[in-house]
A and B are shown apart, each in its own frame.
Chain A
Amino acid sequence: MTNKFFLPSLLFILVSCSESFDIDVSFGSSDSVYQGIDNAFESTYIPMYSQPVLFRSANIYDGLGGEFLDYDLLLSDGVIKEISKSISAPGVFVIDATDKWITPGIIDIHSHMGVYSAPGVSTSSDGNEATSPVTAEVWAEHSLWTQDPQFALALKGGVTTFHVLPGSANLFGGRGATFKNISRNTIQAMKFPGAPHSLKMACGENPKRVYGNRRQSPSTRMGNMAGYRSAWIDAVEYADRMNETNEDRRPKRDLALDTLMGVLNGEILVQNHCYRADEMAMMIELSKEFDYKITAFHHAVEAYKIADLLADEGICAALWADWWGFKHEAYDMVQANVAIVDQARNGTGCAIVHSDDPVGIQHLNEEAAKAMAAGNRAGFNISKAHAMRWITSNPAKAAGIIDQTGSIEIGKDADIVLWSGDPFSVYSKAEKVLIDGAMAFDINDPKIQPITDFDLGIIQPQKNRIQ
Chain B
Amino acid sequence: MKGFSKNILLLFLTVHVSSETILLKGGLVHLGNGEPATPKDILISDNRIASVGKNLIIDGNTRVIEVNGLPVTPGLISPMSNLGIVEINSLDVTRDDESNILSAGFSIFNAFNPNSTGIPWNRSNGVTSAISTPSTSFFPIFGLGSYFVLDGSLKVKGSKDIAMFGRLGSSNESRAETLAILESLLEIGRLLENSTVDEILNMTLAEKLELQSADIIALGKVVNGGMPFVLETNRAVDILQALSIKQKYSLNLVLASVEEAPMVLDELKESNTPVIIDPMDNIPNSFDELGSSLNLGKILDEAGISIMFSTQRSHNYHLMRQGSGNAVAHGMSYETAIQGMTDTVAKTFQLNDRGSIESGKFADIIVWDGDPLEPSSFPKIVMIEGELQDLTSRSSKLTERYTNSEDKPSSYKH
Query: A residues near B, CB below 8 A?
Result: 1-7, 11, 118-121, 149-150, 153, 205, 209, 277-278, 281, 304-309, 312, 322-328, 331-336, 340, 358-359, 362-363, 366-367, 369-370, 372-374, 377-379, 424-429, 458-459, 465-466
Contact assessment for A369 and B412 in the assembled complex, using a CB-CB cutoff below 8 Å: no
Q: How far is the CA of A370 from the CA of B281 in the complex (A)?
A: 19
Output the nearest chain B residue to A153 by Cβ-Cβ distance: B282
Query: Can you list 29 A-B contacts (CB < 8 A)?
Result: A1-B137, A1-B171, A4-B135, A5-B89, A6-B82, A121-B286, A153-B282, A304-B402, A308-B413, A323-B316, A325-B86, A325-B117, A325-B315, A326-B314, A326-B315, A328-B90, A331-B117, A334-B396, A335-B399, A359-B281, A363-B326, A370-B322, A373-B376, A378-B403, A426-B326, A426-B374, A427-B328, A459-B290, A466-B293
Q: How far is the CA of A324 from the CA of B122 in the complex (A)?
A: 12
- Known A-B contacts A205-B90, A334-B398; the reply to A3 vs B285 at CB < 8 A is no
Q: How far is the CA of A459 from the CA of B409 in the complex (A)?
A: 57
Determine the chain B residues whose CB is within 8 A of the CB of A326 once the complex forms.
88-90, 313-315
Q: How far is the CA of A411 from the CA of B271 in the complex (A)?
A: 59
Contact of A459 among B138, B291, B325, B377 (CB under 8 A): B291
Known: A373-B377, A426-B325. 6 other contacts (CB 8 A): A11-B90, A308-B414, A326-B90, A334-B402, A427-B329, A465-B291
Could you say which of B89, B95, B138 has the most chain A C-beta atoms within 10 Å of its C-beta? B89
Contact assessment for A429 and B399 in the assembled complex, using a CB-CB cutoff below 8 Å: no
In the complex, how many residue pairs between chain A and chain B have their CB atoms under 8 Å apart? 165
Q: How far is the CA of A366 from the CA of B324 in the complex (A)?
A: 13
- Known A-B contacts A323-B313, A334-B402, A466-B293; the reply to A370 vs B375 at CB < 8 A is yes
Minimum Cβ distance to chain A for residue B143 (Å): 13
Map CB proximity to A onto B136-158 as digits: 1 under 8 Å, 0 otherwise. 11110000000000000000000
Q: How far is the CA of A308 from the CA of B137 in the complex (A)?
A: 44
Q: How far is the CA of A12 from the CA of B172 in the complex (A)?
A: 22
Determine the chain A residues whose CB is within 8 A of the CB of B322 once the complex forms.
363, 366, 370, 426
Residues of B393-414 whose CB lies within 8 A of A: 395-396, 398-399, 402-403, 409, 411-414
Determine the chain B residues whose CB is within 8 A of the CB of A335 once the complex forms.
395, 399
List the 6 closest pairs (A to B, CB-CB), nearest first: A373-B376, A325-B315, A426-B325, A369-B376, A334-B399, A1-B139
Output the nearest chain A residue to B289 by Cβ-Cβ distance: A119
- Known A-B contacts A308-B412, A370-B376; the reply to A325 vs B89 at CB < 8 A is yes
Chain B interface size range: 35 or more
Determine the chain A residues whose CB is within 8 A of the CB of B89 once the complex forms.
4-7, 325-327
Contact of A119 among B87, B95, B287 (CB under 8 A): B287
Q: How far is the CA of A340 from the CA of B402 in the complex (A)?
A: 8
- Known A-B contacts A1-B136, A426-B325, A426-B329; the reply to A372 vs B376 at CB < 8 A is yes
Determine the chain A residues whose CB is within 8 A of the CB of B398 once the complex forms.
304, 332, 334
Output the nearest chain A residue to B321 by Cβ-Cβ distance: A426
Contact assessment for A4 and B286 in the assembled complex, using a CB-CB cutoff below 8 Å: no
Minimum Cβ distance to chain B for residue A372 (Å): 7
Question: Is the C-beta of B312 less than 8 angstroms from some C-beta in chain A?
Answer: yes
Contact assessment for B413 and A6 in the assembled complex, using a CB-CB cutoff below 8 Å: no
Question: Is the C-beta of B92 less than 8 angstroms from some C-beta in chain A?
Answer: yes
Question: Is the C-beta of B284 less than 8 angstroms from some C-beta in chain A?
Answer: yes
Contact assessment for B403 and A331 in the assembled complex, using a CB-CB cutoff below 8 Å: no
Q: How far is the CA of A113 from the CA of B145 in the complex (A)?
A: 35
Map CB proximity to A onto B85-101 as digits: 1 under 8 Å, 0 otherwise. 01111111001001000
Output the nearest chain B residue to A305 by Cβ-Cβ distance: B402
Determine the chain A residues whose CB is within 8 A of the CB of B414 once the complex forms.
308, 312
Question: Is the C-beta of B71 less than 8 angstroms from some C-beta in chain A?
Answer: no
Contact assessment for B87 and A325 in the assembled complex, using a CB-CB cutoff below 8 Å: yes
Determine the chain A residues whose CB is within 8 A of the CB of B329 once the complex forms.
426-429
Q: How far is the CA of A277 from the CA of B376 in the complex (A)?
A: 26
Q: How far is the CA of A377 from the CA of B378 in the complex (A)?
A: 9
Determine the chain A residues whose CB is within 8 A of the CB of B402 once the complex forms.
304-305, 307, 334, 340
Q: How far is the CA of A429 from the CA of B328 in the complex (A)?
A: 12
Residues of B290-308 whose CB lies within 8 A of A: 290-291, 293
Q: How far is the CA of A326 from the CA of B398 in the complex (A)?
A: 18
Question: Is the C-beta of B118 less than 8 angstroms from some C-beta in chain A?
Answer: yes
Determine the chain B residues whose CB is within 8 A of the CB of A119 once the complex forms.
284-287, 289-290
- Known A-B contacts A6-B89, A335-B395; the reply to A306 vs B412 at CB < 8 A is yes
Contact assessment for B403 and A325 in the assembled complex, using a CB-CB cutoff below 8 Å: no
Output the nearest chain B residue to A323 by Cβ-Cβ distance: B313
Question: Is the C-beta of B280 less than 8 angstroms from some C-beta in chain A?
Answer: yes
Contact assessment for B313 and A6 in the assembled complex, using a CB-CB cutoff below 8 Å: yes
Question: Is the C-beta of B283 less than 8 angstroms from some C-beta in chain A?
Answer: yes
Contact assessment for A118 and B284 in the assembled complex, using a CB-CB cutoff below 8 Å: yes
Determine the chain B residues whose CB is within 8 A of the CB of A328 once the complex forms.
88, 90-91
Minimum Cβ distance to chain A for residue B92 (Å): 7
Residues of B96-136 whose CB lies within 8 A of A: 98, 117-118, 135-136
Question: Is the C-beta of B373 less than 8 angstroms from some C-beta in chain A?
Answer: yes
Could you say which of B86, B375, B395 has the most chain A C-beta atoms within 10 Å of its C-beta? B375
Contact assessment for A5 and B280 in the assembled complex, using a CB-CB cutoff below 8 Å: no
Contact assessment for B138 and A426 in the assembled complex, using a CB-CB cutoff below 8 Å: no
Output the nearest chain A residue to B319 by Cβ-Cβ distance: A322
Q: How far is the CA of A210 from the CA of B142 in the complex (A)?
A: 28
Q: How far is the CA of A132 from the CA of B157 in the complex (A)?
A: 49
Contact assessment for A465 and B314 in the assembled complex, using a CB-CB cutoff below 8 Å: no
Determine the chain A residues whose CB is within 8 A of the CB of B376 once the complex forms.
369-370, 372-373, 424
Q: How far is the CA of A408 from the CA of B285 in the complex (A)?
A: 35
Output the nearest chain A residue to B326 by Cβ-Cβ distance: A426
Determine the chain A residues whose CB is within 8 A of the CB of B139 once the complex forms.
1
Determine the chain B residues whose CB is within 8 A of the CB of A11 once the complex forms.
90
Determine the chain B residues whose CB is within 8 A of the CB of A278 once the complex forms.
411
